Amino acid sequence: MTLIRSWLFVPADSDKKLAKGRENPADALILDLEDAVADDRQEIARDMACAFLKANPDRSRQKLWVRINPLDHSFSLADLAAVMPGAPDGIVLPKVNTAEDINRLAERLSALEATAGLEIGSTRILSVATETAAALLTFNTYLDGVSDRLAALTWGGEDLAAALGAATNRHPVTGEYDHPFQFARTMCLTTARAVDAQPVGVVVTNFRDLEELRRDCEYDRQSGFIGKIAVHPAQSDVINAAFTPTDEEVAWSRKVVDIFEQNPGLGTIGLDGQMLDMPHLKQARNLLALADQINAAGG
């Protein structure tokens, strides 16, 4: 899958917001059929989402994903049947309880791809992995076997707070995520890495505070996340910048890789006053690979 730094939610039942989303610098739009659409507008939103997908077949700059309703909701199958003829790049699956939910979605996608004349396996999945209390206890199921359609994993702080009966997901004094939410974040990151999926940071709901967003992106990136979900168009540029390696980071990483390649027999090397070993080499290679992916995608 092409690396995606910024994923922007757009209500699928708004022509104006869909059109503006296409002009936004976000790497991907998520056409939302779940939280952003009232029940009595579901059918309208499905039709609009499919029409928008068909009208925008060129996804070279910006991918087009669709968030359907939860798999156990009566709307979900109708969501999929309506949008798959438009060939979405991927499906965002909310309120995932176990990896089996992803595998069930994968089976449905195969049937719908065949019906729509799409390449089998071409539609990827982003799992929203911690929006229910049960989901916190089932990350191990991903290791037991999950569909290779799974491209990315994120976690849901707001829905999880509601599921746990919490008034907020932040500590009232420090402002940091409280313990259950730190656990969800950690398990999302480690599970994504374990199954070779992209770990995606959670939304910052205060869309007016771009400095808070920048700090949260920096924290996510330092932890190992790649990319973040946006709830407002103004957030995309901040997210893209935060998850793009700087020229200084790229230059340093090249120096690290070069010095190890010039000294293949050494496991530990000093460079600019720092002692480096194999984990530093791996980090440098990972950063260069990330930069190459972003450049290849035109970022």
Model pLDDT, residue 33: 98
CATH number where 195 lies: 3.20.20.60
User: What angle in degrees, to the nearest 10, is found between the helix axes of 76-83 and 99-116?
Assistant: 40
State how far the Cα of 253 lies from the Cα of 247, in Å rounded to an integer: 10
**Residue for token digits 């065949």?**
114
CA–CA gap between residue 227 and residue 8 (Å, rounded): 11
**What pLDDT is recorded for position 19?**
97
Using N-to-C axis directions, what is the helix angle for 15-23 and 42-55, rounded to 10°? 30
Write the pLDDT tens digit of every residue in 215-255: 999 999 999 999 999 999 999 999 999 999 999 989 999 99
| Same domain, residue pair 174 and 270 | no
pLDDT confidence bin for 273, thresholds 50/70/90: confident
Q: What does DSSP assign to residue 139?
A: G
Specify whether 140 is located in the same domain as 265. no
Residues 213, 284, single domain; the answer is no
Backbone angles phi, psi at 283, to 5 degrees: -60, -40
pLDDT at 254: 93
pLDDT of residue 297: 74
Residues 229 and 272 grouped into a single domain:
no
pLDDT band at 53 (very low <50, low <70, confident <90, very high): very high
CA nearest 171: which of 181, 158, 186?
181
Percent of the chain with pLDDT over 70: 100
Statement to judge: residues 230 and 251 lie in one domain: no
Burial of 69 per CB tally in 10 Å (0-12, 13-18, 19+): buried
Same-domain pairing of 186 and 285: no
Closest by Cα among 186, 236, 199, 206 to 30: 236
The confidence band for 128, taking pLDDT boundaries of 50, 70 and 90, is very high
Q: Supply the pLDDT for residue 264.
A: 85
116 and 264 co-located in one domain: no
Domain boundary (214, 242, 270) is at 242
* pLDDT score for 67: 98
Q: Look at residue 149 and tell me if it is in a domain.
A: yes
Which of the listed residues 223, 242, 261 is the one where a domain comes to its end?
242
Could you tell me the two tokens for 136? 């916190």
Cα separation, 176 vs 157, in Å, equals 12
Length of the chain: 299
Judgement on whether residues 99 and 218 belong to the same structural domain of the protein: yes
Residue 113 lies in a domain: yes
Domain that holds residue 68: 6-242
Amino acid at 61: R
Residue 16 domain flag: yes
Residue 1 lies in a domain: no
Between strands 269-271 and 274-276, the pairing is antiparallel
Kindly indicate the confidence band of residue 23, based on its pLDDT and cuts at 50, 70 and 90.
very high
Q: Would you say residue 13 lies in a domain?
A: yes
Measured between alpha carbons, how far is 214 from 33 in angstroms, rounded to an integer?
A: 28
140-197 pLDDT tens trace: 999 999 999 999 999 988 889 999 998 888 887 787 888 999 999 999 999 999 999 9
User: Does residue 168 sit in the same domain as residue 65?
Assistant: yes
Residues 198 and 281 in one domain: no
Q: Please say which residue of 242, 265, 286 terminates a domain.
A: 242
- What's the rounded Cα separation, in Å, for the pair 197 and 174? 31
- Both structure tokens of 145: 């076997």
- What is the spatial distance between Cα 165 and Cα 118, in angstroms, rounded to a whole number? 42
**Is residue 90 pLDDT above 90, yes or no?**
yes
Mean pLDDT across the chain = 94
The yes-or-no verdict on residue 299 having pLDDT over 80 is no
State the pTM of this model. 0.92
> In one letter, which amino acid is 146?
V
**Among 109, 117, 75, 73, which Cα is nearest to 91's?**
109
pLDDT given at position 173: 74
Q: Which tokens in the block code for residue 266?
A: 């050494």
252 and 232 assigned to the same domain: no
Angle at 6 between CA 142 and CA 249, to 5 degrees: 95
Q: Is 104 in the same domain as 188?
A: yes
CA 39 to chain centre: 25
DSSP secondary-structure letter at 210?
H
Percent of residues, the chain, with pLDDT higher than 90: 81
For the chain, how many helices (H) and strands (E)?
10, 10
267 pLDDT higher than 90: no
Q: Domain tally for the chain?
A: 2
232 belongs to a structural domain: yes
| Per-residue pLDDT, 296 | 78
Q: What are phi and psi of 134, to 5 degrees?
A: -60, -35
